[in-house]
Amino acid sequence: MGVSRRLETIYEALNAHFGDLHWWPGETPFEIIVGAILTQNTNWNNVATAIAALKGAGLLNPQKLYDAEDTVVASLIRPSGYYNIKTKRLKAFLEFLHTRYAGDLQSMFDEEMWTLRHTLLDIKGIGAETADSILLYGGAKPVFVVDAYTRRILERHGLITPAWSYREVQALFMDHLPQDTSLYNQYHALLVQVGKEFCKRKPLCGECPLNRELTV
């Protein structure tokens, strides 16, 4: 079975099992960006609590969050962990947004995708996974997000080795699947879900929906 067909088979099996996962949760592109930054090194429930606190304080807006005191922001996002570091990361992104795009998210997302990705990676605290999450889920750009679950699943199914770089894993998907935002959105969400439920550090292969499709 070729790479393209194997990737399609994984998607089909997971999609049939889990259905549409409607990921990434967020009412606005800015909320999604904040979530992408806060979700580093924590679970989503903690991030959701932090976002609800920002929303309750009326700060889930680029200008208002930019103007807010760091101590105020840190106290609100405390549930997400590493709150002082994440406050600095949020403020670094907001400084970038205001300096380069006058605070206008649409102007930012109007940039060519790879150009914008490169500039996002220059922001302190924003790595490849966060940048790509911002592009895919916040800006509806056709870029594939790679995370630890993606690596674990692909390694166990013999599609990559631990030596592969982030960009090599990303290219595996983008070179062998259609350039489609909705597909990338759902595919990443499915990999996260199967990683959480079945492809754990100690895998539950016998129960996994991929067990019927691919040999581990």
The domain spanning residue 97 has which CATH number?
Answer: 1.10.340.30
Give the model confidence (pLDDT) of 155-197 as tens digits: 999 999 999 999 999 999 999 999 999 999 999 999 999 999 9
Structure confidence at residue 152 (pLDDT): 97
Last residue within a domain, chosen from 98, 123, 138: 138
212 pLDDT above the threshold of 70: no
In angstroms, the CA 88 to CA 102 distance is: 19
Phi then psi for residue 46, to 5 deg, are -65, -40
Are 34 and 103 in a shared domain? yes
Residue 123 per-residue DSSP state: S
Are 39 and 8 in a shared domain? no
In angstroms, the CA 87 to CA 70 distance is: 7
Contact, 171 vs 143, CB < 8 A? no
Domain that holds residue 13: 3-22+144-197
Give the other-Cβ count within 10 Å of 93's Cβ: 24
Are 16 and 101 in a shared domain? no
Are 11 and 77 in a shared domain? no
